[in-house]
């Protein structure tokens, strides 16, 4: 199989962009530089905030996302990834604008949870992802139940993402976020879906240990496979 270049529609946020690139490199079987995959990244920080757009009338992210997608396609990308869960609300606009496949992180996560035999998962995500039902749509027909945090727990997730990770706050108080996660597990969630690309970073930054599935890693592994590499799981 001829190898393809992976195009990353990045900037949502920049740390999440770094995270997926790191995961692609670390999870590609390679013994030399030349055995790694070509990765093209547009860290497009001009893309408006996705939750603001969906819930509060903010600027439309789709035009800038499409601009990045077309740029990466012209640069030689053979497939595209979007390392932002909330941005998948604009997936259709991006896929229809290019002639190369755009991998769908949420659907891939649903597929992998189904293969794992999970019947109930707890969704941790931004308000934009939770309220638009993006994960519920991706999980439709899988038989997997999705639990979401209560109102204080959801606010704790938003605070940890925006006031913690995005703000670069190494000392953010995560006690409320921990309570929200433990509540989901107590309610029957077998695992937590880290449905915001800042959340795997939060787990590492704040040293949190809970059963969880990282959609960024799911996306990275699938991108490696579809680009013609061998993924290390």
Q: What is the dihedral of CA 204, 182, 160, 146, to 10 degrees?
A: 100
CA distance 82 to 158: 20
What pLDDT was estimated at residue 28? 98
Classified as helix, coil or strand, 5 is strand
Q: Which whole number is the average pLDDT over 165-187?
A: 97
What pLDDT was estimated at residue 178? 97
Q: What is the mean pLDDT of the chain?
A: 97
Pick the CATH number of 5-104+217-226 from 3.40.920.10, 3.90.850.10, 2.60.40.10, 3.40.50.1860: 3.40.50.1860
Q: Which residues are catalytic?
A: 84, 196
Equal CATH topology for 5-104+217-226 and 106-215: yes
Q: Is the pLDDT of residue 187 over 80?
A: yes
What pLDDT was estimated at residue 1? 77
Q: Which candidate, 180, 233, 181, 174, places its Cα nearest to that of 212?
A: 181
Q: How many Cα atoms occupy the beta-carbon half-sphere of 226 within 13 Å? A: 20
Instruction: Give residues with Cβ within 8 angstroms of 77, minimum separation 6.
Output: 4, 5, 6, 7, 40, 100
pLDDT, tens digit, for every residue of 60-106? 999 999 999 999 999 999 999 999 999 999 999 999 999 999 999 99
**pLDDT > 70 fraction of the chain, expressed in percent and rounded:** 100
Q: How many Cα atoms occupy the beta-carbon half-sphere of 138 within 13 Å? A: 28
Share of the chain residues as helix, strand and coil, in percent rounded to the nearest 5? 50, 15, 35
Instruction: Give residues with Cβ within 8 angstroms of 200, minimum separation 6.
Output: 19, 194, 214, 216, 217
DSSP state of 197: T
Domain 106-215 - what CATH class?
A: alpha beta
Classified as helix, coil or strand, 80 is strand
Q: Which whole number is the average pLDDT over 160-188?
A: 97
CA distance 62 to 50: 9
Structural domain boundaries of the chain?
5-104+217-226, 106-215
């Amino acid at each position: 199989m001829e190898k393809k270049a992976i195009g990353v529609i990045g900037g949502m946020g920049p740390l999440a962009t770094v995270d997926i690139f790191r995961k692609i490199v670390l999870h590609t079987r390679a013994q030399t530089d030349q055995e790694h995959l070509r990765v093209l990244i547009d860290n497009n920080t001009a893309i408006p905030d996705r939750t603001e757009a969906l819930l509060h009338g903010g600027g439309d992210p789709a035009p800038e996302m499409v601009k990045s997608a077309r740029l990466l396609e012209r640069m030689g990308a053979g497939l595209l990834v979007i390392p932002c869960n909330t941005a998948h609300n604009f997936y259709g606009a991006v896929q229809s604008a290019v002639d190369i496949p755009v991998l769908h992180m949420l659907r891939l996560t649903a597929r992998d949870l189904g293969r794992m035999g999970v019947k109930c998962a707890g969704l941790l995500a931004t308000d934009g992802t939770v309220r638009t039902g993006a994960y519920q749509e991706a999980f439709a027909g899988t038989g997997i139940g999705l639990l979401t945090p209560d109102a204080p727990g959801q606010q704790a997730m938003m605070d940890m993402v925006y006031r913690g990770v995005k703000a670069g706050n190494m000392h953010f108080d995560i006690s409320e976020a921990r309570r929200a996660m433990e509540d989901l597990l107590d309610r029957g969630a077998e695992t937590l879906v880290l449905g915001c690309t800042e959340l795997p970073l939060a787990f590492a930054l704040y040293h949190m240990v809970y059963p969880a599935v990282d959609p960024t890693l799911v996306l990275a592994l699938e991108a490696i496979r579809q680009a013609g590499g061998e993924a290390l799981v």
